[in-house]
Amino acid sequence: MSSWLLIIISIIVVWVASLYKILHASRSQSNADGFIGTGEKRNVLLVIAHPDDESMFFSPTINYLISRGHNVHILCMSTGNADGIGNIRKDELYQACAVLKIPLKQVKLLDHVDFQDGFGKLWNRNLMAEIVEEEVTSHAINLILTFDNYGVSGHCNHRDVHHGICNFLSKTSQRDIETWELISTNILRKYIGPLDIWLSIFSATHHSGSQMHCLLNEHPRKSFQAMSQHLSQWVWFRKLFVSFSSYTYVNTLRRINSNNNN
In this complex, which beta carbon is closest to Zn ion, that of residue 110 or of residue 177? 110
Name the one range near Zn ion by CB under 5 A: 5-13, 29-37, 50-58, 190-198: 50-58
Number of residues that bind Zn ion (CB under 5 A): 3
In this complex, which beta carbon is closest to Zn ion, that of residue 53 or of residue 181? 53
In this complex, which beta carbon is closest to Zn ion, that of residue 53 or of residue 218? 53
Does 219 help bind Zn ion (rule: CB under 5 A)?
no
Which residues are bridge partners to 133 per DSSP?
none
Strands 178-182 and 71-76: unpaired
Q: Which of 36, 47, 50, 74 binds Zn ion (CB under 5 A)?
A: 50
CB of 75 to Zn ion, least distance (A): 14
**Helix or strand run (H / E) with residue 182:** strand 178-182
Tell me which DSSP letter residue 151 carries. Answer: H
Name the one range near Zn ion by CB under 5 A: 45-53, 107-115, 161-169, 189-197: 45-53
- Picking from 101, 63, 67, the residue whose alpha carbon sits closest to that of residue 215 is 63
Answer for the pair 89, 81: CB distance below 8 angstroms, yes or no: yes
Answer for the pair 258, 177: CB distance below 8 angstroms, yes or no: yes
Cβ-proximal residues to 183 (8 Å cutoff; 6+ apart), any chain: 148, 212, 252, 253, 254
CB of 97 to Zn ion, least distance (A): 15
* Burial of 77 per CB tally in 10 Å (0-12, 13-18, 19+): buried
In this complex, which beta carbon is closest to Zn ion, that of residue 151 or of residue 220? 151
Q: Which residue is nearest to Zn ion (CB)?
A: 50
Does 53 help bind Zn ion (rule: CB under 5 A)?
yes
CB of 50 to Zn ion, least distance (A): 4
In this complex, which beta carbon is closest to Zn ion, that of residue 53 or of residue 92? 53
Residue numbers at the binding site for Zn ion (CB under 5 A): 49-50, 53
